[in-house]
Amino acid sequence: MVAFDPQYLVNGVIVGSTIALAAVGLTMIFGILNFINFAHGEYLTVGAYAAFVANVTLGLPIPVALLVAVPITAGFAVAIDRVVYYPLRERGLGGVGLLITSVGLSIALRNTIEIIWGSKLRDYAVPSGQAMTIAGVRITALQIIIILVAVLLMVVVHLLLTRTILGISMRATSSNKALALSSGIETERIIRWTWIIGISLTVVAGVLIGLNTSIRPSMGFRLLLVMFAAVILGGIGDPYGAMLGGLSIGIAQEVSVAFVSASYKPAIAFAIMVLMLLWRPEGIRGENA
Amino acid sequence: MSEQDPLLDVQGLKKHFGGVKAVDGLDFTVEQNSITGLIGPNGAGKTTSFRTIAGFHEPDGGTVTFDGQDLTGADPATVVEAGITRTFQEARTFPSMSVFENLLVGAVGNRGEQLIPASIGASQYSEDERRAIERADELLEYTGLESVRDQQASELGVGERKLVEIARALMTEPDLILLDEPMAGLPRDVTQDVIEYIQRLREERTQTFLIVEHDMDVIMNICDRITVMEAGRDIASGTPAEIKRDEGVIEAYLGSDADTGGEQ
């Protein structure tokens, strides 16, 4: 084998930063609602297709399409919460019951998308552009934008969580629901905002992934395992951990291509997840989540 | 509301769990600016009463009236909004948040519907947030916690965490604070600090307290009035001196283990 090619690392950062965004959404929803949303991947897919309709069917430029897709999909997630999860929560259904419900929701959404748009790969109407070579690494302008958007959103999430009362209330609710309730926090309002913020990040991740590769009805579902791995790696419910976890998993997957066949990528994520659960189930950041 | 009306008026409160009548017809009142104690043997229903008043349980009967407002069966956020807040037995804080952030959580209930401005522009605090920050800093100074303002709550000792918890409760601008065994697990010297703190809040800030506590010395020393519970109902109410002489109370306490451990 020749010297390590930094190309794999850069590919890993591109993939990892998009996984990280979606994983932050997943982990926030877990932290506040206390259930594993199996349909999280489908929200990513719904967002990617909403942007596809705006971009290809309606002919809007992709940044505008993204800005259209985010509120539509976030609104969709809030509506699903009202119609499906809220009544179940009120009846006291626990995490397992909600998890099973989300499995059903995941299948229903995925098949609905497939019925409407078919199962074949679709692309956004965006030229992928000439790759340039920087320090021996090939990268397109679009990929640089993908990384920048992901990093920018992570900073926004950080500021939201630490500098706003909404963010502090979200962390408080995630940390101790009873104490948050007795501080006067209306949990249902926090739940609504968590869906909006978590799903918005996930939609951006979906569109960025679609820009980097293609979109298809199973894209979100295929990413679910990777997102779980990122969330577990970072410590369940910890947004900063999920950022770190997503980036690590993305890099590990892409760098593994240098050593094993690319078809083993999901196995790499799965192996990391299992090892992490055995070694440090509380996540890389430890107990301060 | 007239001068004589109690701040909190609980009448015929009931809370049953299956066949267990945890609270079964409790009557008691808390006067304005008083420190009122709720005591009783293990399993008398004190903590369940607290939880029911604070909106964590739906009562099976009776009424809770606070400052003239009916709070029977209200949810926790409504109860806090009305002016009642509670603390927990084990000095609960948000461990991964700073002391300052712990206090800010208490400000949430007061800020109405303006969550959107909060999420736009990191340094552009809304008016509500600015007030919450000022209030938090003022309370940190008042409680002598300003030196640990930016430390994570998990790094503090149990006494400081108890003060943080009470300060967070104060951030909700309550008229009544429910203290659930505030001295549980505290070392002796810290207990004295917390007692002085509660008394200062009553004197200087006209705060009203309702306390469940097992430590009889503390209760007799700090309370203006005491209600004694047994088997889910009140068996006596009065001043500490009256309670000490009450035959029924003495019997209730001698008939069971009065000062062992906490109730679930």
d(CA B177, CA B27): 19
Whole-number pLDDT of residue B184: 84
Q: Which residue has the tokens 């090939």?
A: A138
Whole-number pLDDT of residue A283: 77
Name residues 158-177 of chain A within 8 A of B (Cβ).
159-160, 163-169, 171-172, 175-176
CB contact under 8 A, B110 and A167: no
B-interface mutation test, from A160, A165, A197, most B Cβ less than 10 A away: A165
Q: Which residue does chain A place closest to B88, by CA atoms?
A: A179
Name residues 110-149 of chain A within 8 A of B (Cβ).
none
Distance from the Cα of A95 to chain B's closest Cα (Å) equals: 20
Q: Which residue in B198, B202, B178, B227 sits closest to B33, CA to CA?
A: B202
d(CA B36, CA B39): 10
Residues on chain B touching A193 (C-beta within 8 angstroms): 115
Residues on chain B touching A289 (C-beta within 8 angstroms): 96
Kindly give the pairing relationship between strand B176-180 and strand B84-87: parallel
Name residues 89-128 of chain B within 8 A of A (Cβ).
92-97, 101, 104-111, 115, 118-119, 122-123, 128
How far is residue A51 CA from its own chain's centroid? 16
Residues on chain A touching B77 (C-beta within 8 angstroms): 181, 184-187
For chain B, which ranges sit under pLDDT 70?
Answer: 1-4, 109-126, 254-264
A-interface mutation test, from B81, B99, B108, B123, most A Cβ less than 10 A away: B108
Structure-block tokens of residue A3: 């010297």
Residues on chain A touching B112 (C-beta within 8 angstroms): none
User: Is B171 within 8 Å of chain A by CB?
Assistant: yes
Distance from the Cα of A181 to chain B's closest Cα (Å) equals: 6
CB contact under 8 A, A171 and B97: yes
Go through the domains of chain A in sequence order and give each one's CATH number: 6-284 (1.10.3470)
CB contact under 8 A, B168 and A171: no
Q: Which residue does chain B place closest to A160, by CA atoms?
A: B119
3-class state of residue B233 by DSSP: strand
**Which residue among B54, B76, B105 places its CB closest to the CB of A169?**
B105
One CATH from 1.10.8.50, 3.90.1310.10, 3.40.50.300, 1.20.120.790 for B8-94+173-254: 3.40.50.300
Element (H, E) at B225: strand B225-230
Name residues 38-97 of chain B within 8 A of A (Cβ).
54-56, 76-77, 80-81, 85-88, 92-97
B-interface mutation test, from A78, A175, A183, A285, most B Cβ less than 10 A away: A183
CB contact under 8 A, A184 and B132: no
d(CA B213, CA A259): 64
Whole-number pLDDT of residue B152: 92
Per-residue pLDDT of chain A (289 residues; tens, 9 = 90+): 455 788 889 999 999 999 999 999 999 999 999 889 999 999 999 999 999 999 999 999 999 999 999 999 999 999 999 999 999 998 888 888 999 999 999 999 999 999 999 999 999 998 877 788 888 888 888 899 999 999 999 999 999 998 888 888 899 999 888 888 888 888 888 999 999 999 999 999 999 999 999 999 999 999 998 999 999 988 888 899 999 999 999 999 998 888 888 888 888 888 888 888 888 877 777 654 4
CB B97 within 8 A of CB A155: no
3-class state of residue B241 by DSSP: helix
Q: Tell me the domain boundaries of chain B.
A: 8-94+173-254
**Total residues belonging to chain B:** 264
Whole-number pLDDT of residue B114: 44
User: Is A289 within 8 Å of chain B by CB?
Assistant: yes
From the number of C-beta atoms within 10 Å of its C-beta (0-12, 13-18, 19+), residue A151 rates as: middle
Whole-number pLDDT of residue B119: 44
**For residue A145, how many other CB atoms are within 10 A of its CB?**
14
Distance from the Cα of A85 to chain B's closest Cα (Å) equals: 19
DSSP A97-143: HHHHHHHHHHHHHHHHHHHHH-SS-B--S-----EEEETTEEEEHHH
User: What interface predicted TM-score (ipTM) does this complex get?
Assistant: 0.74
Distance from the Cα of A163 to chain B's closest Cα (Å) equals: 6
The DSSP call for residue A215 is B
Whole-number pLDDT of residue B3: 55
Q: What is the pTM of this model?
A: 0.82
CB contact under 8 A, A182 and B129: no
